[in-house]
Amino acid sequence: MIKSKEDLRDYLKADQAMTGKPNRLFVRWLTRSDEYYIRAFMVALRHYEYYLNKRRNLLDFIPYLFWWWNYRRLKLKSELYIMPNTVGPGFYPRHRGFVRIGPTTHIGKNCSVMPMVLFGKKLPTAYSEINVGDNCYIGTGATILGPLIIGNNVTIGAGAVVTKDIPDNAVVAGVPAQIIRIQE
């Protein structure tokens, strides 16, 4: 959770490191590429989380509203529906496109998500918490239905439907998802 300026700086630095490119947001703004909208959304999300979590005084109301508005606007432009305080530092959606991460999902550090990924629940009335470990990769079109726990260093293949827990260092694919191999 981002509660201080140092936390915010660390999260933004980790997010930037996942892109592998220097932060030239102005240059990307000129071209309006997909990468610009993803990066701008992640910056707005991190600032919104900061102002949402910190103890606010009257002077914080205007920056809070500004980042809330930016978060909402860029959420629609980038089609990334990520709730605040759900993704860890270094999270990076690789492309624009529908990605839905609800409030009961918690994703660890340095994870990558491709477009058309859905984190949901098996039953409409059930409470489903989904915990994703660190250094995970989730392929295009994957559906993850909780409640479940996904370990560290897991690769989920494109189009997989995950309904059961996944151990550390596993590669899974298929409908329903099955472990293909355990990486060492």
pLDDT in tens, 42-75: 999 999 999 998 877 888 888 999 999 999 999 9
Residues 103 and 173 in one domain: yes
Residues 93 and 168 in one domain: yes
Residues 74 and 163 in one domain: no
Residues 108 and 161 in one domain: yes
Residues 92 and 170 in one domain: yes
What is the per-residue pLDDT for 171?
Answer: 95
What is the per-residue pLDDT for 25?
Answer: 58
Contact 115, 34 (CB under 8 A): no
What is the per-residue pLDDT for 66?
Answer: 93
What is the per-residue pLDDT for 1?
Answer: 80
Contact 152, 134 (CB under 8 A): yes
What is the per-residue pLDDT for 32?
Answer: 63
Residues 53 and 100 in one domain: no
Contact 139, 133 (CB under 8 A): no
- Residue 145 sits in a domain of what CATH number? 2.160.10.10
Q: Residue 133: helix, strand or coil by DSSP? A: coil
Confidence tier at 157 by pLDDT (50, 70, 90): very high
Confidence tier at 183 by pLDDT (50, 70, 90): confident
Residues 91 and 162 in one domain: yes
Residues 116 and 61 in one domain: no
Give the domain range for residue 137: 79-184
Contact 14, 90 (CB under 8 A): yes
Residues 48 and 88 in one domain: no
Q: Residue 68: helix, strand or coil by DSSP? A: helix
pLDDT in tens, 17-49: 877 666 555 555 666 667 778 888 999 999 999
Percent of the chain scored above 90 by pLDDT?
52
Joined tokens for residue 17: 């490191």
Structural domains in the chain (count): 2
- Residue 135 clears pLDDT 70, i.e. is over it: yes
Global pTM reads: 0.87
The arithmetic mean of pLDDT across residues 77-97, rounded, is 89
What is the per-residue pLDDT for 125?
Answer: 80
**Range from 16-25, 42-51, 75-84, 97-106 carrying the lowest mean pLDDT:** 16-25
